[in-house]
Amino acid sequence: MSAYNIVSIAGSDPSGGAGIQADLKAFSAHGTYGMTVITALTAQSTRGVTGVHGVPVDFVTQQMDTLFTDATVHAVKVGMLATAEITEAVADAIVRHELPNVVVDPVMVAKSGDRLLESSAVKALRTLLLPHADLITPNLPEAADLLGEPEAADLATMRAQAGRLLELGPRRVLLKGGHLAGEESVDVLVSRDAEPVEFRARRMATRNTHGTGCTLSSSIAALLPRRPDAATAIADAKAYLTEAIRRADEVDAGGGQGPVHHFHPWW
């Protein structure tokens, strides 16, 4: 095999730190060939989001059908979907084209606090898309939104919420604990076919963490077809992201919350 083809279905971030741009960087960093389906345009910088322009749902479908009837796809990362109609179209395409290794990062709110998924689309995400995901990667606020519960404030609640997210239909749930307090950040992986696994990493003092969720989920998607199991793919993706965060201050992309260093192995 000459290359693994990984597709990002997500929104565009002009600052390059998140969304389609971050996904393509992560795909490349892991030695895979990146392809894209763009669901939304954003006006965005390291300081925040000033505008969102959704791509018409018919054109999102046209992008997917044109690409998926031609290219062999080895994994898919789903990010910003913006509307219920786009969410439904993406779920339908995943089924029709029998796409493998589907990683869903349920992007709802940017780190700046700007909402990237309409409130009316949460039900479509929960009922139509999540049951077709091989892995979902919510953070604590996203998990609370999906479950209609308060945000977890401790590890025990995190573990319980991860189990309830699994009941929504995905094959696996990686619930990210970066919003909890403490010297360590703990992520919880629960699966239908394996025992729970916890991933721990020491927190680093940097404000430049824009796009960490996009980068982690796209890294996992790039590694899933090339690792013996999901836990190994996640562990390797987290090791890559940890170093990308540690060296994030080397990238000067604006005066706000900057991106991680996607290409830290090379420069």
Verify whether residue 176 is a known catalytic residue.
yes
Catalytic residue among 11, 176, 177, 238: 176
Verify whether residue 61 is a known catalytic residue.
no
Catalytic residue among 32, 87, 212, 215: 212
Question: In terms of C-beta distances under 8 Å and separation of at least 24 residues, what long-range contacts does 187-195 make, across chains too?
Answer: 187/234, 187/238, 188/155, 188/158, 188/159, 188/162, 189/162, 189/230, 189/231, 189/234, 190/159, 190/162, 190/163, 190/165, 190/166, 191/166, 191/230, 192/166, 194/229, 194/230, 194/231
Verify whether residue 213 is a known catalytic residue.
yes
Verify whether residue 209 is a known catalytic residue.
yes
- Residue 228's CB is within 10 A of a number of other CB atoms, namely 7
Catalytic residue among 16, 79, 213, 258: 213
* Distance in angstroms (rounded) separating the CA atoms of residues 14 and 244: 20
Catalytic residue among 61, 211, 238, 258: 211
What Rg value do the Cα atoms of the chain yield, rounded?
17
Catalytic residue among 214, 215, 238, 258: 214
Verify whether residue 214 is a known catalytic residue.
yes
Catalytic residue among 36, 87, 209, 215: 209
Distance of CA 36 to the CA centre of its chain: 14
Which residues carry out catalysis? 176, 209, 211-214
